[in-house]
Amino acid sequence: MTPRTPAPTRAHAVLPSGPGSLTGLEAASPFTGRHIGPDTDEQAKMLAAIGYGSLDELTDAAVPAAIRALAGFELPAARTEAEVLAELRELASRNTVLTSMIGLGYHGTFTPPVITRNVLENPAWYTAYTPYQPEISQGRLEALLNFQTVVTDLTGLDVAGASLLDESTAAAEAMTLARRAGRAKSDVFVVDAATLPQTVAVVRTRAEALGIEVVVADTADGLPEGGCFGVLLQYPGADGLVRDLTPVIEAAHARGALVAVAADLLALTVLRAPGAMGADIAVGTTQRFGVPMAFGGPHAGYLAVREKLTRSMPGRLVGVSVDADGAPAYRLALQTREQHIRREKATSNICTAQVLLAVMAGMYAVYHGPDGLASIARRTHRYAAVLAGGLRAGGVEVVHGDFFDTVTARVPGRAEQVLAAARAAGVNLRPVDADHVAITCDETTLRAHVEAVWGAFGVSGDVAALDAETADALPSGLLRDTEFLTHPVFHTHRSETDMLRYLRRLADKDYALDRGMIPLGSCTMKLNATVEMEPITWPEFANMHPFAPVDQAAGYLELIDGLADSLARITGYAKVSLQPNAGSQGELAGLLAVRAYHHANGDTARDVCLIPSSAHGTNAASAVMAGMRVVVVKTGENGDVDLADLHARIEQYRDTLAVLMVTYPSTHGVFEEGIEQVCAAIHEAGGQVYVDGANLNALVGLAQPGGAIGADVSHLNLHKTFCIPHGGGGPGVGPVAVRAHLAPYLPNHPLQPTAGPETGVGPISAAPWGSAAILPIPWTYLRLMGPEGLKEATQVAVLGANYIAKRLAPHFPVLYTGPNDLVAHECIIDLRGITKATGVSVDDVAKRLIDYGFHAPTMSFPVPGTLMIEPTESENLHEIDRFCDAMIAIKGEIDRVASGDLPADDNPLANAPHTAALLAGEWAHAYTREEAVFPAGVVPAEKYWPPVRRIDGAQGDRNLVCSCPPIEAYGAN
Ligand SMILES: *Cc1c(COP(=O)(O)O)cnc(C)c1O
């Protein structure tokens, strides 16, 4: 093939000036050229290097003709950044943000501006990846350890994880944890009637598929008759009541059941901890620790347990270990519980969690300290007590005498009227039923709000006078009598100057996209443009309660509907639900839809989920959560699904086949041929096809899973292909997209009927539209790119991966290729031969890349002993070449080990990464100090210094420490 120079498409073309040239200016879409790294010249060079003449020629050769989308999809043409911001402002203005006193797990809070600007709005935090490479993630790992310490101290339990997705899914995880770890032989899970309604609903959705019977009961007078394996209690109750849970916890333990308490962390600063009352598990949200309500999310959920349950915990856990010099260092602990290792035997399907929000909540506690948090809690409580006092004085019945922040008032037949009057005064209250209204105070409550509420009830009062005469409503026997947050970190960053420097110090330890390329296959670490991030902190988006009356959220709903519609057009599906707040949750929602569809057809025996052995770990874990049996399909020599084995399994499970779950392009980064025949064979046997759409960055504009590929359902990861930043391990959005026949079984929500079909499977997340506040990011991205720009982005992503494959192939074997020896948007290089011959492992190469100033590619997934590289369209040729040069230089170092020039146990790879500390002192290695710290291509003045040397993960798993270690532990430093 003769390379030819492609016609210039856009980039950096200088527009003519003079009469009539405005037309050209209006047509220009400069953002595409900002998002896509390689400009026209660079693209031409890359195309020439791999022997193609144009992007179209390349993708025609790479993508099998049978699935190529013949016509594009209809989306509005690209707009400029200024135009899109103006459109967003207009949408935002259509949201009416009232003062929320709705409560139910979502509360007004003041985000300290130092945290907003230096965490939430700081790419050093929000563009980081999940801390799998701990040596370059010490900053966020420390921040997460702070978070875990906050949760364990306040709940009075031993171990807390580094965030779950929200309170309701955390409660559902607690249910399955209790079933796994408990002794009781029962299928009953008791949920107290005072549990948040959305939590009850999420727990029911999860329980149904697992054959768990949920019994909702008032446990004030004891547990219902019969056995149960677990109990869930809310503390304080949704109705505001604070009561001693000790008796019911003891009764549950007497039956061999485990008890989970969904607890409000702010209340726990003044109330006795669940752990002190005997609870085994505590769950909840950390939203009110400085994270805006955000119309439902994202926020960090939490889960804490007694020590004996640690190994059964779901989700990520940060622990303390040591590095090669024996210095303390943080890393993810007990990963063998997780889906990426344990697959269908994992403790949960959680992958992406809520790291950025957990960092914010932890920092809120660091900034306020224990006394600051307790005074926020006491102030919140005083307002509630005064509010109740005023209602009582005005003759309104207040249902409970003991409460923290929530007052339930009885107004026979008048609830609607009170709610309307409050709305007219600018306040949303919570409708309980026709006779009851609940009012929740928070950190942002003011005298004027209390007076407005009184007015809505037709009473009046004097806040100051009532404050003087009203006693606290916290039960004296349940006051907290133990210290919390005694660690110095919660006492030393209390001035803004100190906080600013602490945040900077931590961020400086980490490698994020603001430093360089993160070429992680399957993770699509592309540009998260500033303009896309801007709207998420606008008050019209940030300060909305998820259960506010929908007519106050007109702008949000238009944005949500528009985004769902665009995603349906892009993927070729009929309907999209944006509720799942991670890819794993989209998988569960999609599989539950398949299950419900089969059941509706009377096919209740269809419970087999076929999954290729190369699949992402979440697939198998999600299938188990959807009540399915996982049957593994072999992978052939060439990396494709083994078709003979697949057909054998189809025959074997013809009558019980529910679904095939397959990733496309494959997890091997290849456009497999014949996917449409695979889909047809599954359909012929009565099964459904689930295409894991996390790799959509290779498909947008080129092929549609719901189109010619022929799948029935997919989830997409908006935090990969659609520019939501990875946040150091979350947030994410994992929409589920379906063909029309599955649309009746999408998620819905008990508190917002417009959020899903009446016939739906129930909620999959706590909030009706999941992590609504980050949906402006993909919405903005689609508007800025337009259909042409989106297609070009995909084409350049494919170009980048093929360019890297071509450059590295002479040095490292490229494991799999598809049509015409091309890869899709990522490529796998095989180090197994090298490891066998030299002892140099993928780990060594990954850690050595740190010395060269790079984040490692994905290690040993989907094939052990390999590296999977995904450049994305956003990296320009200079950065891609810098990476290839580093890899080639590393191969040179490996060759020196192979030749015996460098000893196998003392070489720059085995000892990587090298820290700044190694610049001082004795140097007794077989290679030079310069080679160690300033390898080829590294400019000393621009060097990224890892703060620790290689971390011994196993040591930390053997000696588990999951909260802030005493300061003396750092003596070595
Ligand atoms: C990232 C990914 C997932 C899981 O998505 P999360 O948002 O992390 O839960 C599933 N499948 C594939 C192929 C992925 O790359």
- What is the 3-state secondary structure of 231-279? EEEEECCCCCECCCCHHHHHHHHHCCCEEEEEECHHHHCCECCCHHHCC
Every domain range in the chain assigned CATH 3.40.640.10: 106-315+350-509, 570-772
Per-residue pLDDT at 345 exceeds 80: yes
pLDDT digits (tens, 9 = 90+) for 585-598: 999 999 999 999 99
Name the nearest CA neighbour of 598 among 659, 652, 680, 646.
659
Structural contact between residues 341 and 966, judged by C-beta atoms closer than 8 angstroms:
no
Per-residue pLDDT at 12 exceeds 90: no
* Spatial separation of the C-alpha atoms in residues 30 and 198, rounded to whole Å: 44
Choose which residue among 584, 670, 868 to substitute to test ligand 1 binding: the one with the highest number of ligand atoms within 8 A of its C-beta.
584
User: CA–CA distance from 375 to each of 370, 443, 796, 934 (Å)?
Assistant: 9, 10, 54, 51
Ligand 1 atom nearest residue 585's Cα: 9
Residue 152: strand, helix, or coil: helix
Structural contact between residues 617 and 346, judged by C-beta atoms closer than 8 angstroms:
yes
What are the residues facing 284 on neighbouring strands? 302
* Spatial separation of the C-alpha atoms in residues 795 and 551, rounded to whole Å: 41
**Which pair of tokens denotes residue 913?**
């990464």
Structural contact between residues 897 and 840, judged by C-beta atoms closer than 8 angstroms:
yes
* Spatial separation of the C-alpha atoms in residues 385 and 763, rounded to whole Å: 34
Ligand 1: which residues within 6 Å by Cβ?
351-352, 522, 582-584, 616, 618, 663, 667, 692, 694-695, 717, 732, 734
Q: List the single range of 19-23, 102-106, 184-188 with lowest mean pLDDT.
A: 19-23
Structural contact between residues 847 and 768, judged by C-beta atoms closer than 8 angstroms:
no
Which residue carries 């609504």 as its tokens?
Answer: 772
Look up residue 233 and give its amino acid.
L
Per-residue pLDDT at 493 exceeds 70: yes
Average pLDDT over residues 440-460: 98
User: CA–CA distance from 819 to each of 62, 234, 669, 704, 717 (Å)?
Assistant: 6, 56, 12, 18, 26
Across the chain, what does the average pLDDT equal?
95
* Spatial separation of the C-alpha atoms in residues 294 and 280, rounded to whole Å: 31
Name the nearest CA neighbour of 959 among 127, 499, 396, 331.
331
What is the pLDDT, as a whole number, of residue 5? 40
Structural contact between residues 178 and 280, judged by C-beta atoms closer than 8 angstroms:
yes
Look up residue 759 and give its amino acid.
T
Confidence band for 24, pLDDT divided at 50, 70 and 90 = low
Look up residue 971 and give its amino acid.
G
Ligand 1 atom nearest residue 352's Cα: 8
Please give the backbone phi and psi of residue 73, each rounded to the nearest 5 degrees, phi first: -100, 160
Please give the backbone phi and psi of residue 738, each rounded to the nearest 5 degrees, phi first: -135, 160
Residue 714: strand, helix, or coil: strand
Q: How many residues does the chain have?
A: 973
> 527: buried, middle or exposed (CB in 10 Å: 19+, 13-18, 0-12)?
buried
What is the pLDDT, as a whole number, of residue 70? 74
* Spatial separation of the C-alpha atoms in residues 161 and 730, rounded to whole Å: 14
Rg (CA), the chain: 28
Supply the DSSP symbol for 479.
B
Please give the distance, rounded to the nearest whole angstrom, from the Cα atom of residue 868 to the centre of ligand 1.
15
Name the nearest CA neighbour of 592 among 715, 505, 488, 676.
715
Structural contact between residues 227 and 188, judged by C-beta atoms closer than 8 angstroms:
yes
What is the pLDDT, as a whole number, of residue 4? 42
Average pLDDT over residues 677-689: 96
Name the nearest CA neighbour of 817 among 579, 639, 552, 952.
639
pLDDT digits (tens, 9 = 90+) for 689-711: 999 999 899 999 999 999 999 99
What are the residues facing 368 on neighbouring strands? none
Name the nearest CA neighbour of 805 among 669, 641, 699.
669
Supply the DSSP symbol for 754.
G
Per-residue pLDDT at 1 exceeds 60: no
What are the residues facing 716 on neighbouring strands? 693
pLDDT digits (tens, 9 = 90+) for 369-405: 999 999 999 999 999 999 999 999 999 999 999 999 9
Ligand 1 atom nearest residue 349's Cα: 9
* Spatial separation of the C-alpha atoms in residues 422 and 452, rounded to whole Å: 7
Ligand 1 atom nearest residue 584's Cα: 9
Q: List the single range of 153-162, 619-628, 671-680, 887-896 with lowest mean pLDDT.
A: 671-680
Choose which residue among 523, 524, 692, 720 to substitute to test ligand 1 binding: the one with the highest number of ligand atoms within 8 A of its C-beta.
692
Percentage of the chain exceeding pLDDT 90: 91
Structural contact between residues 146 and 264, judged by C-beta atoms closer than 8 angstroms:
no
What is the pLDDT, as a whole number, of residue 911? 98
Name the nearest CA neighbour of 301 among 172, 430, 200.
172
* Spatial separation of the C-alpha atoms in residues 948 and 945, rounded to whole Å: 9
Please give the distance, rounded to the nearest whole angstrom, from the Cα atom of residue 588 to the centre of ligand 1.
12
CATH architecture for residues 570-772: 3-Layer(aba) Sandwich (3.40)
Q: What is the 3-state secondary structure (H, E, C) of 384-419?
A: HHHHHHHHHHCCCEECCCCECCEEEEECCCCHHHHH
What are the residues facing 336 on neighbouring strands? none
Confidence band for 903, pLDDT divided at 50, 70 and 90 = very high
Q: List the single range of 312-316, 458-462, 515-519, 637-641 with lowest mean pLDDT.
A: 637-641
Starting at the edge strand that comes first in sequence, how are the strands of the sheet with 736-738 ordered?
A: 575-577, 736-738, 713-716, 688-693, 657-663, 608-612, 629-633
Percentage of the chain exceeding pLDDT 70: 97
Look up residue 205 and give its amino acid.
T
- Fold adopted by 106-315+350-509: Aspartate Aminotransferase; domain 2 (3.40.640)
Ligand 1 atom nearest residue 667's Cα: 13
Collect all residues with Cβ–Cβ distance below 8 Å to 698 and sequence separation of at least 6.
665, 671, 794, 797, 798, 824, 825, 826
* Spatial separation of the C-alpha atoms in residues 676 and 733, rounded to whole Å: 27
Q: Number of helices and strands (H, E) in the chain?
A: 31, 26
Per-residue pLDDT at 180 exceeds 80: yes
* Spatial separation of the C-alpha atoms in residues 841 and 791, rounded to whole Å: 37
Please give the distance, rounded to the nearest whole angstrom, from the Cα atom of residue 734 to the centre of ligand 1.
9
Ligand 1 atom nearest residue 582's Cα: 7
Structural contact between residues 175 and 207, judged by C-beta atoms closer than 8 angstroms:
yes
Residue nearest to atom 7 of ligand 1 (CA): 583
Please give the distance, rounded to the nearest whole angstrom, from the Cα atom of residue 136 to the centre of ligand 1.
22
Please give the distance, rounded to the nearest whole angstrom, from the Cα atom of residue 583 to the centre of ligand 1.
5
Which residue carries 């994020």 as its tokens?
Answer: 512
Please give the distance, rounded to the nearest whole angstrom, from the Cα atom of residue 719 to the centre of ligand 1.
10
Per-residue pLDDT at 462 exceeds 50: yes
* Spatial separation of the C-alpha atoms in residues 487 and 865, rounded to whole Å: 41
Q: What is the 3-state secondary structure (H, E, C) of 782-811?
A: HHHHHHHHHHHHHHHHHHHHHHHHHHHCCC
Name the nearest CA neighbour of 115 among 512, 532, 506.
506
Structural contact between residues 122 and 515, judged by C-beta atoms closer than 8 angstroms:
no
pLDDT digits (tens, 9 = 90+) for 614-670: 899 999 999 999 999 999 999 888 878 899 999 999 999 999 999 999 999 988 888
Residue nearest to atom 6 of ligand 1 (CA): 583
**Which pair of tokens denotes residue 726?**
């990875």
Structural contact between residues 175 and 230, judged by C-beta atoms closer than 8 angstroms:
yes
